[in-house]
Structure 1
Amino acid sequence: QMIVRHTDIRTAYLYGELQEELYMRQPPGYSNGDPSVVCRLVKSLYGLKQAARVWNNRIDTALKSMEFTRSSADQCLYTRGTICILIYVDDIVVACHTSEEYESIVKLLRQSFKVVELGDIKFFLGIHVRKGDGHYVLSQKSYISKT
């Protein structure tokens, strides 16, 4: 039996570390009146072209340091033994056999990120998930009803 739990990384893009020099004007309310004064960005911000890439690099590094291997077939899938982790931007799904395994993964993630536990998976990427007796049922009934 697998347990499948859903977590969220709060403000995920802000954890990305920029590899290039990038400057921005000061936001309104922070400037000293001199329009030539700019700020050098060290960390990523939402809205930057490279925000998704640098966040992905950051979570990839974190998971690999936890001895997870990235799948060559799906870059959003990581495995370590029988544990699977799926990532979609800041949403993380962990499938494992025990609550202890899950808690140890979340504990390690919390060393680097603000993690919000959303509990057993119920909805992910437009798919409703329901746990049955020894199985899971996936449904896109609401999506079908819209069309």
Structure 2
Amino acid sequence: MFDTRYYLMAVVALFYRATVLDFAERTALTSKRLYNDYEDGKYSAENIAMVGGLRAQFLHFSNYWHFDELANKDEEIEHFEMMCRVYRIAPMKAEIENEVEKLNSMLTEYYTRQSTEAVNRLAVVSMVLGAGAVVTGF
């Protein structure tokens, strides 16, 4: 009984459901921690690393573990699609993908801001050294 195709399809569909729910929970917790950091005015390195790790794990799941066609027979494909539709895997995965993309854009903004601040510091140091060179003649 436990080695039939339908049982294995149910196991895979439940694996997808559990993984998607896990990603939904982790995305919510990460967003909450980042929101708390935003209120404090400074992002912690741990939370920034968590966003990058979450995105990497979601991409790994999407590209390596998740696939739409589990079997080659039309009846089995329809059965698997029905299970996925009942478990709402596709809409939840799309919602999580959207949330992960928003977190990634926040991460890009953070790194852009860090780079801009570094360039501004370098410009100030260059101006101070340039002014010193003009005054001293070196």
The reply to whether TM is greater than 0.5 is no
- If the length of structure 2 is used for normalisation, what is the TM-score? 0.25
- If the length of structure 1 is used for normalisation, what is the TM-score? 0.24
User: Greater helix percent: which structure?
Assistant: 2
